């Protein structure tokens, strides 16, 4: 034996201290020891004579174990009772059989519970004394109701909650927990029933090393393990080795089997003094455990333990259907959230608006910590996400590494060492392409699992022996475990990957539809522009022909009206003369209108003859022509600064200045009339947005005249549009500004006005440099 009291039959462990590095090799199925609350006899299955007995038979029976070796059961039972026991032995398999017996040689002894099974070429007889039990009568209606609740549970967690409540009701343990294993064999407490004064263990996680591999194998074979007093002193078998096999017997199915000293220390570190564990098995694999703790010794009868085992087996039989229900419920939630996103995508024509404006809805599709949307260089995040430079590094890595349209991992750091820096938010990555342009992705993120769980006993420190060695503490296993799973997030479920693929396909369909619509619009716009251009050409041609042809008859009407006035005025009365004078005036106005229309159509039909033009010379020519009018109206014309050389048609530029200066003189009733011509400086914004100062000069003509209400700023550029009556401000056809605007636009520029009533007007126009 080593100093822990365990006889080691694994030669590689003989003489060694059991530690966390070798506990997976501890031979817990052949300890050669039992717990002392009962006693054990092992019979040869052929001779049915005792080959091994627990050393405590002296204490419980008054017969030393050595004296029982080689004897038959007739040393304990009379012949008529032995017949019934032998009948049971004939039918034994690995499963336990329970019968109540009284040892005939000691009539004063109470009844014993005799638990029988056959294994390892032995017949196992385990005796538990029938003592006054604290257990009350079993409440069958309550049990039936509890099993009904388990059957009706709609989720695995609810299923577990009903199971722990029922086991605690049956056994009276201080705490009963449902413990579920993860893929890495670490565990989590998912349900708990406890005494109200105890702290909750719900949600705590435990490293996989807390339950060694051979213990997991034992849980698969023997559904229940019970320790009524953790502080027990193990009782050895006599002899320890089976004489036939020359090794300790395999105690896998033994009820009284002594447990690992590692596990005992584990329980003592937690303050537990009695425990029971029930296996939960799904498809032949250990899914979890129902773990019972009591904080004082507690002996639960075999019958109640067997009933708890029945609950564990019932739980295991129903578990697959409950997990399927959970998976189906999660799938429904996933589909519901998908449908919401698809509805938003359908509502807004531009899928980018949906993604950027509804990031919470995008994130909530999956159980994740955060989401990143990156499209055409615009990056947006929601929830837990790395810093912008780290996101850019991730996008660059995806550009160079990602194959196909989708990528997912629960450990980005395993693919890229730089992932270690963002493991707190992005250990897990599920990414889909939004386009084939580099950097266009939709990415869901999951944090490192160590960031999201609470580890039981993580802060507990190991104690040190006098010789400098560490006690074997189960909590020491945490450091090794955390190192093995760091940089790892929860796995992406297959249905989550499928859902992400569906989202990608839906966005791809929307992008294709948008592309086709844009192409169709572009084609339609091209056709409409061509038709409009043809229509404009035809309209300009019609206006030119009509204007030219109308001028000849109109000129005849004007001339004959003049002749009548000159030759027959003395033969007409005053009213007749007035009517002829009106006819002359109207024919003159009609001719001016036709001339304006002809000029406008000419601007539309003829391309400007562009050349370098010195604006100073153009303005000087216009001023010479208008000088008599300037002197007559008393207008003071100034040039704010030397004017530039531009790329324009000089004739049309003269027309523009002539029109703007004429209007500035006409619509001015100030005592001192001023007009200023200059070049606008700084940033200038025209009707179609900012003017590119590198390509255009912006000239202006500013007056201190009557001004224009802003609501008329656009209408004044329409053909024949006048804001005043014909008699006011010197008449005019109302075509000048329309002609000027068309000339500037044919030259690639813009013409607009800034003005307020009674505050003067400034007309700006841009001309290429």
Give pLDDT tens digits for 406-418: 999 999 999 999 9
pLDDT of residue 185: 83
Pair 619, 640: CB distance under 8 Å: no
Res 13 pLDDT > 60: no
Candidate ranges 469-483, 520-534, 590-604; pick with highest mean pLDDT: 520-534
What's the CA gap between 146 and 163, in Å, rounded? 8
Residue 63 C-alpha from the chain's centroid: 71
For the domain bounded by 611-768, which CATH number is listed? 3.30.565.10
Pair 19, 25: CB distance under 8 Å: no
Phi, psi of 651 (to 5 degrees): -65, -45
* Helix H or strand E encompassing 565: helix 494-568
For the domain bounded by 135-230+272-347, which CATH number is listed? 3.30.450.40
1-132+234-258 sits in which CATH class?
Answer: alpha beta
Residue ranges of the chain that CATH labels 3.30.565.10: 611-768
Kindly indicate the confidence band of residue 590, based on its pLDDT and cuts at 50, 70 and 90. low
Average pLDDT over residues 72-92: 86
Q: What is the pTM of this model?
A: 0.58
Average pLDDT over residues 559-565: 76
DSSP alpha helix (H) spans, 435-493: 477-485
Residue ranges of the chain that CATH labels 3.30.450.40: 135-230+272-347
pLDDT of residue 559: 76
* Residue 309, token pair as written in the block: 């085992």
Say whether the peptide bond before residue 654 is cis (omega within 30 degrees of 0). no
pLDDT of residue 160: 93
Res 181 pLDDT > 60: yes
Residues above pLDDT 90, as percent of the chain:
32
Residue ranges of the chain that CATH labels 3.30.450.20: 1-132+234-258
Residue ranges of the chain that CATH labels 3.30.450.270: 348-492
Res 206 pLDDT > 60: yes
What's the CA gap between 385 and 423, in Å, rounded? 10
* Residue 524, token pair as written in the block: 């339609």
348-492 sits in which CATH class?
Answer: alpha beta
Q: For the segment 260-309, what is each residue's pLDDT rounded down to a tens digit?
A: 887 888 788 788 999 999 999 999 999 999 999 999 999 998 889 999 99
Fold for the domain defined by 517-605: Helix Hairpins (1.10.287)
Residue linked to tokens 């029976």: 61
Residues above pLDDT 70, as percent of the chain:
78
Local structure of 578: helix, strand or coil? helix
Handedness of CA 424, 428, 432, 436 (dihedral sign): positive
């Amino acid at each position: 034996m080593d100093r822990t009291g365990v006889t080691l039959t694994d030669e590689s462990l003989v003489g060694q201290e059991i530690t966390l590095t070798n506990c997976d090799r501890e031979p817990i199925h052949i300890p050669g020891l039992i717990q002392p609350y009962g006693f054990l006899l092992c019979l040869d299955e052929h001779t049915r004579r005792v080959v091994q007995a627990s050393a405590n038979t002296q204490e419980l029976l008054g017969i030393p174990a050595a004296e029982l070796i080689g004897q038959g059961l007739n040393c304990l039972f009379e012949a008529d009772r032995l017949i019934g026991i032998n009948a049971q032995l004939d039918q034994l398999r690995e499963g336990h059989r329970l019968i109540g017996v009284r040892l005939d040689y000691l009539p004063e002894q109470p009844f014993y519970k005799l638990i029988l099974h056959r294994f390892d070429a032995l017949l196992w007889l385990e005796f538990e004394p029938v003592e006054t039990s604290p257990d009350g009568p079993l409440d069958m209606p309550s049990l039936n109701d509890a099993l009904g609740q388990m059957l009706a549970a709609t989720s695995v967690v609810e299923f577990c909650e009903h199971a722990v409540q029922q086991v605690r009701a049956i056994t009276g343990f201080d705490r009963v927990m449902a413990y579920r294993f993860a893929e890495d064999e670490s565990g989590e407490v998912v349900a708990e029933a406890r005494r109200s004064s105890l702290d909750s263990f719900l949600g705590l996680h435990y490293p996989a090393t807390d339950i060694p591999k051979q213990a997991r194998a034992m849980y698969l074979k023997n559904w229940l393990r019970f320790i009524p007093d953790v502080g027990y002193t193990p009782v050895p078998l006599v002899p320890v080795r089976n004489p036939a096999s020359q090794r300790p017997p395999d105690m896998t199915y033994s009820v009284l089997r002594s447990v690992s000293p590692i596990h005992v220390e584990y329980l003592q570190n937690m303050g537990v003094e009695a425990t029971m564990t029930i296996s939960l098995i799904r498809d032949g694999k250990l899914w979890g455990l129902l773990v019972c703790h009591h904080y004082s010794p507690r002996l639960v009868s075999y019958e109640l333990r067997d009933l708890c085992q029945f609950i564990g087996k019932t739980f295991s039989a129903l578990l697959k259907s409950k997990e399927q229900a959970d998976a189906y419920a999660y799938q429904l939630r996933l589909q519901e959230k998908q449908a919401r996103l698809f509805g938003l995508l359908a509502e807004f024509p531009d899928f980018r608006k949906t993604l950027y404006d509804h990031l919470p809805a995008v994130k909530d599709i999956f159980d994740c910590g955060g989401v990143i949307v990156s499209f055409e260089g615009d990056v947006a995040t929601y929830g837990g996400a790395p810093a912008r430079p780290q996101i850019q590094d991730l996008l660059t890595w995806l550009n160079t590494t990602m194959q196909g349209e989708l990528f997912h991992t629960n450990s980005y750091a395993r693919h890229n060492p730089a992932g270690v820096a963002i493991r707190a938010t992005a250990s897990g990555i599920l990414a889909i392409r939004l386009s084939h342009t580099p950097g266009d992705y939709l990415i869901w993120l999951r944090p490192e699992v160590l960031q999201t769980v609470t580890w039981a006993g993580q802060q507990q420190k190991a104690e040190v022996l006098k010789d400098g060695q560490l006690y074997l503490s189960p909590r020491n296993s945490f450091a090794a475990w955390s190192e093995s799973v760091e940089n790892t997030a929860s796995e992406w479920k297959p249905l989550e990957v499928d859902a992400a693929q569906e989202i990608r396909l839906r966005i791809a369909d929307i992008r294709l539809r948008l592309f086709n619509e844009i192409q169709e619009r572009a084609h339609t716009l091209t056709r409409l522009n061509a038709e409009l251009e043809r229509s404009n050409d035809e309209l300009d041609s019609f206006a030119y022909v009509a204007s030219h042809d109308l001028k000849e008859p109109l000129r005849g009407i004007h001339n004959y009206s003049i002749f009548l006035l000159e030759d027959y005025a003395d033969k007409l009365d005053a009213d007749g003369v007035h009517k002829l004078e009106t006819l002359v005036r109207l024919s003159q106005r009609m001719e001016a209108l036709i001339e304006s229309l002809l000029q406008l159509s000419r601007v539309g039909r003829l391309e400007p003859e562009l050349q370098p033009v010195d604006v100073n010379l153009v303005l000087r020519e216009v001023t010479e022509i208008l000088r008599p009018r300037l002197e007559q109206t008393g207008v003071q014309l100034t040039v704010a600064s030397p004017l530039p050389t531009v790329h324009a048609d000089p004739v049309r530029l003269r027309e523009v200045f002539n029109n703007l200066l004429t209007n500035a003189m006409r619509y001015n009733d100030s005592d001192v009339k001023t007009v200023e011509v200059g070049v606008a400086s700084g940033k200038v914004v025209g009707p179609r947005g900012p003017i590119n100062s590198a390509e255009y000069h912006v000239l202006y003509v500013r007056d201190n005249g009557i001004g224009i209400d802003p609501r008329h700023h656009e209408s004044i550029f329409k053909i024949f549009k006048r804001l005043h009556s014909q008699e006011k401000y010197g008449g005019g056809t109302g075509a000048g500004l329309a002609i000027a605007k068309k000339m500037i636009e044919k030259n690639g520029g813009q013409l607009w006005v800034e003005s307020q009533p009674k505050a003067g007007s400034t007309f700006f126009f841009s001309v290429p440099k």
